[in-house]
Amino acid sequence: MATATKTLHGLPENVIFCKKCLISNQRPSTQREFKKSDTIIDTVGFGDDGICDTCKWFEYKNTQISWDAREKELQELCDRFRRNDGRYDVIVPASGGKDSIYVAHLLKNKYNMNPLTVTWAPHMYTDIGWTNFNHMIEAGLDNIKVTPNGKIHRLLTRLAFENLVNPFQPFIIGQKNVAPRAALQYDVPLIMYGENQAEAHNHFSENLSPLMDISHFSTKTATEDMYFGGVHVNDLKKNYGVTDNDLYLYKPLLEDEIRAKNVEVHFFSYYVNWSPQENYYYVKENTGFESNPDGRSEGTYTKFASLDDKIDGQHYYTMYIKFGQGRAMNDANRDIRDGFITREEAVDLMNKYDGEFPKKYFQEVLDYMGITEERYWEVIDKSRSPHLWDKVDGEWKLKHPTK
Amino acid sequence: MKRVIARLDIKLNRLIKGIHLEGWRFLGDPKPFFMDYYENGIDEIVYIDSISSLYNRDSMKELVSETTRNVFVPITVGGGIRSVGQAHEMLRSGADKVAINTGAIKNPELITEVAKNFGSQCMVISIQAKRVAPNKWEAYIDTGRESSGKDVIEWVREAVDRGAGEIFLTSVDMDGTTKGMDLALIEAVSKEVDVPVIASGGFGKPMDFVDACKYADAVAIAKQLHYKKATIQEIKKLALQNNINVRFEE
């Protein structure tokens, strides 16, 4: 086990890389965001054979699942919820990216559902993000967009950066609540997410169910301890002048309300063989979706993923600083498991792109958080765990290059 | 004489086809594809190893020699060529021409060297053009992923001055869309230089060949051939009806 003096963030001291993909045992798994008071995380599962849980899951998925049977299950699910009285019958949380457009478009056009897409606004829309958001609506999909006020969102973004070194957290928190809340408001008991997070970096067993555990977006009581940007709600009120109303969109819902309305949250990736590459082809062929007009995104080789928020690059960069693995790693692991590239190719791609600093929107991100560049680097450098980073001739270097 | 060219994007010796040069969907072993195109009267074949330049690899030699054993039309190979030595190896494996993009932009002298060593007819400058304004395009590298900052028209001029004997011109905006070719781009490049221009990206229907050949000397087609949405015969028939001279046998 890690000790506080040798590693930060609760990371295991001994760094190992999966033999099949490039993920290391330093990567976090998904946890309830509104419970985080510091940067300590749980890491992905690894077997004694040196293969990560995710790759084991993919091996299972590629050999043991009958996708025809799963599609039948999807048909049955849709039949159970489909409405013909003019109301919506499924909520699809959607950014307007390739994955969410794919899910909503397919549900509507192939499965004859009546989806309402629900968007939790990014911190700062990129031009291409805004364009694709509109392409989604133009493709025949109704939408409601929920946007938190800029004052609270900026504050929480800064606090999340300073305390958790994750400026993306306010987005993640709000995104988890926005669809269930819309489900209650519009009386639509079915929510369909795209990919189960577990496919990328959670424990194997979570993939066996089509359902998302409601603990990710609800609590038993409204008075439970909660943290936003790593700060307890009481302290946010006391020290930052935050009101209950300011926090309305960030606070999870109540379990009883969810249960009373029989809201079910499903993952589309349970029912279809999910592949980001194939989703890209689908939306290119069926909607006006556009890929990144600048070419590849900073920090990786792809040009079709995670395009809508100017802060996205920082999300991946802070991961790279804290865990030694960034955006290219994310994309490459996915492409290895889907059989698009070999592990050797992925190593080359990682070495070329991973950890590239996202400079394009850097100044805007600083302005958004209201901090100086000096402060930014202070937070970044403090979060480099000594077991991962070395300073060589004034330059930070990873001690364990991916190989 | 105008040419119909089959473009095969290759990754790990398998045929792939993206959209805007993005996406790695496998279509299968390239062999049945190139055999089919050869038997149906293709004039040339272009192989692009579509991600080799991303991470400095070359793996095309085997595929090239296998193709040349079975197919007797000119073969152009591109993707990841960064030195005269690599160009030489591709030619020795049986390629008739090499197409160079990233390697030439990073080191324009490479064009001069390849042309000097093997002749301008071997040295195809490959361009990945992205529209940045009406009638203005920027040259991209690394399979449409990275801006080079170079204006396409100026770069084409320089490449030809350095000895490039042919231009393989891909529209990143139209690639894989089947929505028609970027005719303004093809026109602008063809008017700038005297060497043959192969237009690539966006072919959807046989009439697109006719339209592009107003300016281009050849059209490279990928998706519509791979997915059997167009045949070489129907393209050539339509060309003849429009008084475009092509090599044609029933």
pLDDT of B62: 87
Report, as an integer, the average pLDDT of B188-197: 98
Which pLDDT does position B53 carry in this prediction? 58
Give the type of residue at A362.
F
Grade residue B57 by pLDDT with cuts at 50, 70 and 90: low
pLDDT band at A46 (very low <50, low <70, confident <90, very high): confident
Across the range A149-165, mean pLDDT stands at: 97
HSE at residue B58, side-chain half, CA atoms within 13 A, is 20
Report whether pLDDT(A387) > 50. yes
Show residues of chain A in contact with B24, CB under 8 Å. Answer: 277, 335, 340-341
Query: What distance in Å separates the CA atoms of residue B106 and residue B119, rounded to the nearest whole number?
Result: 21
- Which residues, at least 6 apart from A79, have a Cβ–Cβ distance to it below 8 Å? none
Average pLDDT over residues B155-159: 98
Residues shown for chain A: 403
- Residue A4 pLDDT level (bands cut at 50, 70, 90): very low
Nearest-neighbour CA in chain A from B183: distance (Å): 20
User: What does each C-alpha distance from A219 to A172, A182, A237, B145, B233 come to in angstroms?
Assistant: 17, 17, 20, 44, 66
pLDDT score at A172? 93
State how far the Cα of B10 lies from the Cα of A233, in Å rounded to an integer: 55
Cβ separation of A303 and B142 shorter than 8 Å?
no
Please tell me the distance in Å from B94's CA to the nearest CA on chain A: 26
Tell whether B174 is within 8 A of chain A (Cβ). no
Is the Cβ pair A295, B144 closer than 8 Å? yes
pLDDT at A390 over 80: yes
pLDDT band at residue A279, thresholds of 50, 70 and 90?
very high
- Structure confidence at residue A235 (pLDDT): 97
Pairwise CB contact (< 8 Å): A340 & B24: yes
Report pLDDT for B6. Answer: 98
The string of pLDDT tens digits covering residues A209-255 is: 899 889 889 999 988 999 999 999 999 999 999 999 999 999 999 99
DSSP conformational letter for A119: E
Cβ-contact A64, A57 below 8 angstroms: no
Record the tokens describing residue A228, joined without a space.
Answer: 């936003």
**Is A342:B12 a contact under the CB 8 Å cutoff?**
yes
Among A293-297, B42-46, B54-58, B168-172, which is the least confidently predicted range?
A: B54-58
pLDDT (0 to 100) of residue A226: 95
**Above 90 in pLDDT, residue B227?**
yes
Per-residue confidence (pLDDT) for residue A202, from 0 to 100: 61
CA–CA–CA angle A389, A361, A372 (5° rounding)? 65
φ/ψ bin of B142: left (φ > 0), alpha (ψ from -120 to 50), beta (otherwise): left
Q: Which residues make Cβ contacts (< 8 Å) with residue A315, sequence separation at least 6?
A: A166, A167, A168
The two structure tokens encoding residue A147: 């946007």
What's the mean pLDDT in B201-207?
A: 98
Instruction: Tell me what the mean pLDDT of segment A295-324 comes to.
Output: 93
Q: Is B247 near chain A, with CB under 8 Å?
A: no
- Interface check B213 vs A, CB under 8 A: no
Residue-level pLDDT at A104: 98
Q: Between A and B, how many CB-CB pairs are < 8 A?
A: 58
The pLDDT value recorded for residue A203 is 66
Neighbouring CB atoms inside 10 A of B194's CB total: 8
> Percentage helix, strand, coil, to 5, in chain A?
45, 10, 45
Q: Confidence band (pLDDT; 50, 70, 90) for A188?
A: very high
Side-chain-side CA neighbours of A366 within 13 Å: the count stands at 15
Separation in Å, CA of A295 to nearest CA in chain B: 4
pTM of the complete model beyond 0.90: yes
Q: Cα separation of A106 and A100, whole Å?
A: 10
**Nearest-CB residue to A291 (from B20, B142, B147):** B20
Q: What is the mean pLDDT of residues A179-187?
A: 97
- Cα(B130)–Cα(B143) distance, rounded to whole angstroms? 11
Phi, then psi, of A104 in degrees rounded to 5: -65, -40
Q: Is the pLDDT of residue B18 over 90?
A: yes
Residue A200 reports pLDDT greater than 70: no
Condensed to tens digits (0 to 9), the pLDDT of residues B116-139 reads 999 999 999 999 999 999 999 999
* Average pLDDT for B146-155: 97
Task: Report the pLDDT value the prediction gives residue A23, as an integer from 0 to 100.
Answer: 92
**pLDDT at A53 > cutoff 80:** yes
Helix (H, G, I), strand (E, B) or coil at B192: helix
A209 DSSP 8-state letter: S
Instruction: Decide if B45 contacts B13 (C-beta within 8 A).
Output: no
Question: Is residue A3 predicted with pLDDT exceeding 70?
Answer: no
Distance CA B176, CA B22 (A): 9
Instruction: Let me know how long chain B is.
Output: 250
B110 pLDDT more than 70: yes
Average pLDDT of chain A, as a whole number: 93
Using an 8 Å CB-CB cutoff, list chain B residues near A277.
23-25
Most B-contacting residue of A291, A302, A306, A350 (CB-CB within 10 A), to test interface: A291
